[in-house]
Structure 1
Amino acid sequence: MRTNKDRIRHAVGFEIIALILSIPIMSFFFDFSLKEISVIAIAGSIMATLWSYGFNLIFDKGMLKFKGNTLKTPKIRILHVFLFEGGLLLLYLPMVAWYLNISLWQAFIMDASLVGFYLVYTFSYNWAYDKLFPVDHYPHHSQTA
């Protein structure tokens, strides 16, 4: 399992890189000002950071309980991404619709348009993070040989 410090580093790094990439993309494709997009992106980033910390902690504890380790295969990574993004979507849509004065449907279409980016980004970021900051996936087994 990852430490709390490591989980915080993971979540903050994820959000900083996502903001740098997503704000100009969203502003360009959705024809809102950089200011409008920055407000919803930063609010969404804070929301996502808190969601990321809690979701990943629960997901890893679930893996330990049901699998006995936290090793994420490509199938598990795909499940992880879809569950994470689906939960975030439910949290994020009402705020976007309210702030941009658009319907929930328009907010959904806007968010769904970014899902492809975030699915690839989340998968890539987490894979790279695990390579840069490896963790012992079998905490209950001794390392003696």
Structure 2
Amino acid sequence: MANDKPLMLTSPKQRQGSYFEQQACEFLQGQGLILIAQNWQQPKVGELDLVMLEKGQAWSTLVFVEVRQRQQSHFGDAALSVTAAKQRKIIKAARYFLQQNPQYHKYECRFDVIAYNTMNKKNKNEANITLDNQPNQRLEINQPEWLQGAFITSAW
């Protein structure tokens, strides 16, 4: 039930973000989660990178996933870039998602973060991805950090 609108990726940053969102989606599917929506957007509200379903024996959980990527720097890792303000936007978007998709109302909900901390590589032959805006710069992509229940909301 992914968005019906085609996603127009114009900037290198958008294309890079899309790449990491796809990597995160594949990683989570490998962990047994089912994709419900990708890049779900509600105008003037916000966007959800991934909405996944985690099926359990007793109950299933709807998982709202924020995907972050950051080159290692003195600003902290990718997971730390999900600020309180960003969390509020994600929660607000999740509420709208549930309003528009009432079939998921009875599911438990969880907010996860998938964080990619990348490093620049000098050897072109070892790189996994080339930055569009810097063709000679390549990134080494590490295994993602999966923070389950990364944040909660008290007024869900």
Task: State whether TM-score is above 0.5.
Answer: no
TM-score (norm 1): 0.38
Please state which structure has a larger fraction of its residues in helix.
Answer: 1
Please state which structure has a larger fraction of its residues in strand.
Answer: 2
Larger relative contact order, structure 1 or 2 (CA cutoff 8 Å, min sep 6): 1
